[in-house]
Amino acid sequence: MQAAEVKIRGIVQGVGFRPFIHRLVREHGLKGTIRNTSSGVTMELEGEETAINAFLRELPRKAPPLAVIEEIRSREIPVRGFERFTIIGSERQEERNTLISPDIATCPDCLRELKDPTDRRYRFPFINCTNCGPRFTIIEDVPYDRPKTSMKAFPMCPECEREYHDIENRRYHAQPDCCPVCGPQVRFLNGDGEAVDGDAIELARRELKAGRIIAVKGLGGFHLACRSDDPAIAAELRRRKQRDEKPFAVMCRDAEAAGRICEITEAEEKILCGARRPIVLLKKKTGGLEHLSENAYLGVMLPYTPLHVLLFGDDIDTLVMTSANLSDTPILKDNEAALDELRGIADGFLLHNRLIQTRCDDSLCWVLDGHEYFSRRSRGYVPQPVTVPQLKRHILACGAEQKASFCAGKGEHAFLSQHIGDLKNLETLEHYEKQIRHFERLFDIHPELLVCDLHPDYLSTRYAQECAGKEQLPLIQVQHHHAHMASCMADNGLAGPCIGLIWDGTGLGTDGTSWGAECLVGGYSGFERTGSMLPIPLIGGDRAVKEPYRVAFSLLQAAGCETDGIREAERLKKQLTAGLNCPRSSGMGRLFDGVSAILGIKEVCNYEGQAAILLEAAAGESGEHFPVCFVPDEKENSLLRFDWRPMVRALVSERQNGTAIPILAAKFMNTLIEMAAEQAHFAAEATGLNRVVLSGGSFQNQYVMHHLPERLRAMGFEVFHHRRVSCNDEGLSLGQLMIAAEGNI
């Protein structure tokens, strides 16, 4: 006979963990107790040594799907002689520290019941259990109990109550559980917002099949849905949503249906069909859905709520599913707002009366090395924290501006917010401020230190300054690309120092100019800039970001090439010569834009990053590259700048000699890869460092991400890319937090 105290850290509450332990303990004939604690659960176990060991071995392997076990620690304690195994009530005062599960797609058991005519939840659009269903999006406050969720409006019926209290039942302590007797209801409204009698889901299905655009209330917000196979319907949706060229995401009935329109690897299928259900960028098959995406990929997700499953039925394969919001405002989540703002856009509304407490967009990723590689980390992942070294103080990091997020940290946890959007929109800014308060309440975080970007005009910076002033808190401002670098380090659990290759659109440098193609060396405590590129004059400032032909002109002019082919060449020349509103930027995004325009791929952008995305889509394969030259910085000799002029000259002359665009696009990206390899080499020579982190929005580029790490590894570098947070500005707040935690800048 032996006794052990076992402490488990992670997401182990509200995920069916205690019933699971109850079963496992019984299987091994153990006795003792289990109770929830601030960081997880603590057990006292008594039994034969071999039985305790077998229990500990099986525990992580057999844990319920929603549980995230961060650590299991066990130690021997004196035998007390328990007679059975009991669940002890949780320590109320500590409950505020517990973790909250993200929203999880309908589990196989619930799907089976949903389709079983003899089950009492047959075709019930809100079926869920401890292993699946809404969590983050319905929680108002902690502790996570039904009265603190959107389900408070739906008292349990006796039958549900019985299941809730039965530890043998799959719905033991499932807070959002309900049934057709006691749960929420769906209804269908026509385009004028008038209720239509009949089976709401069948009505919506009929309208969708007939080619109408229907607003569907989902888990974290509304979607606009329509048929995917008819270009005219998609075009109508584009017209009504004023979304001219940006690709639409689709939802497919199952992996098989997705496989008919896209190539799917085994790793992609695993993530596509997993419990978190992000939108996964998959390679399009030719034929059929060209009208939904102008590049090589299509964003695909599978149904993640029972409502979606019923909407597809057996006969709908694929639907366009785009988040319902009007240009840059947050995704709509409330019935009234949807009815009001989607009037004239939606031909019908599939609504329900379960409140979405917290809006949460679909996550968006592609699959790199078998893992999610995010451009938007949101539903299904938030608010699961990133584990970090013990923080001495509570910290709030305020993020960037256009792809805003924040990160609230305490103890060993950094809680990154869901996708927020562009703060320049007033509703989005309000959403941001409200979410900060929500996270502070949920996780009991009282910031003692604030951190934000260097940029004085970012609305996140203004917010941080206001907060710091009001609450008399210290505020640290962190350089944008340093924060990117720190974010990737934290994402990979690196303490530093290392080499950072940071490519993005723009970020304010310590010298007051715009940076964005940086090679940095350092760690959380500081950095040195060892590589960049020659800055590009942006004729017209922000207009040049939207109109890449302006950048093309600057590149050609500086390289001494012909500029006659560029529109408005005369006017641009005058403006450039006069130096009128021509800020200089070394942003990698701008170089992509400019080259895209020179190659005639995209001269005016319709959405952010379009020129670069289409350049990538246009690229073929080539083993060659253009000349890679460097010049020392005028002021700082230790800073080598990539001189893109020889590259531009070579590109222009090869184009004139008839080299095809796909080859030129590939050679351009190969040149940047060589540039990065050289920069990393210089940095390693100077410092002896061997680790390279890759961060910044330009690393969303799949061509670069498939070739650059390989190139660096072949040189002997250890290469790290993002795995848990986005490489773009959405992941920035994690880096800010880590730099602030290090506390000396």
The residues of the shown chain that bind Zn ion, judged by CB under 5 A, are: 107, 110, 129, 131-132, 157, 160, 179, 181-182
Per partner kind, with CB cut-offs from 5 to 8 A, the member of Zn ion, Fe ion, none near residue 179 is Zn ion
Nearer to Fe ion, 628 or 732 (CB): 732
Nearer to Fe ion, 106 or 736 (CB): 736
The Cα–Cα gap between 587 and 517 comes to: 5
Nearer to Zn ion, 87 or 181 (CB): 181
Strand order through the sheet with 2-11: 68-76, 2-11, 40-47, 31-36, 85-88
Judged by CB under 5 A, does residue 504 bind Fe ion? Answer: yes
Per partner kind, with CB cut-offs from 5 to 8 A, the member of Fe ion, Zn ion, none near residue 321 is none
Q: Which long-range contacts (CB under 8 A, 24 or more apart) does 203-211 make?
A: 203/348, 204/311, 204/348, 204/350, 205/311, 205/313, 205/316, 207/347, 207/348, 208/311, 208/316, 208/319, 209/316
Q: In the complex, what is the shortest distance from the CB of residue 172 to Zn ion, in angstroms, rounded to a whole number? A: 12
Nearer to Fe ion, 147 or 456 (CB): 456
Q: What is the CA radius of gyration of the chain?
A: 27
Provide the b/e sequence for 99-117 (b: ≥16 CB within 10 Å).
Answer: bbbbbbbbbeebbebbeee
Nearer to Fe ion, 603 or 729 (CB): 729
Judged by CB under 5 A, does residue 616 bind Fe ion? Answer: no
Q: In the complex, what is the shortest distance from the CB of residue 280 to Fe ion, in angstroms, rounded to a whole number? A: 23
Q: In the complex, what is the shortest distance from the CB of residue 171 to Zn ion, in angstroms, rounded to a whole number? A: 8
Residues, the chain, total? 745
Helix, strand, or coil (residue 337):
helix
Nearer to Fe ion, 212 or 482 (CB): 482
Residue 463: closest CA among 486, 483, 504, 435:
435
Helix, strand, or coil (residue 376):
strand
Nearer to Fe ion, 391 or 488 (CB): 488
Q: In the complex, what is the shortest distance from the CB of residue 502 to Fe ion, in angstroms, rounded to a whole number? A: 8
What distances in angstroms separate CA 519 from CA 370, 516, 703, one per listed residue? 27, 9, 20
Judged by CB under 5 A, does residue 729 bind Fe ion? Answer: yes
C-beta separation of 428 from 422 below 8 A = yes
Nearer to Fe ion, 357 or 698 (CB): 698
> Given the rule CB under 5 A, which of 267-275, 379-387, 507-515, 622-630 is the region that contacts Fe ion?
507-515
Q: What would the two tokens of residue 576 be?
A: 């450039």
Residue 74 pairs with which residues in a beta bridge? Answer: 6
Q: In the complex, what is the shortest distance from the CB of residue 135 to Fe ion, in angstroms, rounded to a whole number? A: 30
The Cα–Cα gap between 484 and 708 comes to: 18
Virtual CA dihedral for 20, 26, 29, 34, nearest 10 degrees? 50
Instruction: Give the DSSP H/E element, type plus range, for residue 413.
Output: strand 413-416
Report strand pairing: 413-416 vs 386-387. Answer: antiparallel
Q: In the complex, what is the shortest distance from the CB of residue 607 to Fe ion, in angstroms, rounded to a whole number? A: 17
Judged by CB under 5 A, does residue 401 bind Fe ion? Answer: no
Residue 691 pairs with which residues in a beta bridge? Answer: 718
Per partner kind, with CB cut-offs from 5 to 8 A, the member of Fe ion, Zn ion, none near residue 504 is Fe ion
Q: In the complex, what is the shortest distance from the CB of residue 514 to Fe ion, in angstroms, rounded to a whole number? A: 11
Per partner kind, with CB cut-offs from 5 to 8 A, the member of Zn ion, Fe ion, none near residue 347 is none
Per partner kind, with CB cut-offs from 5 to 8 A, the member of Fe ion, Zn ion, none near residue 102 is none
> Given the rule CB under 5 A, which of 7-15, 61-69, 401-409, 504-512 is the region that contacts Fe ion?
504-512
Per partner kind, with CB cut-offs from 5 to 8 A, the member of Zn ion, Fe ion, none near residue 129 is Zn ion
Per partner kind, with CB cut-offs from 5 to 8 A, the member of Fe ion, Zn ion, none near residue 729 is Fe ion
Nearer to Fe ion, 36 or 405 (CB): 405
- Give the binding site for Fe ion (CB under 5 A): 504, 507, 729
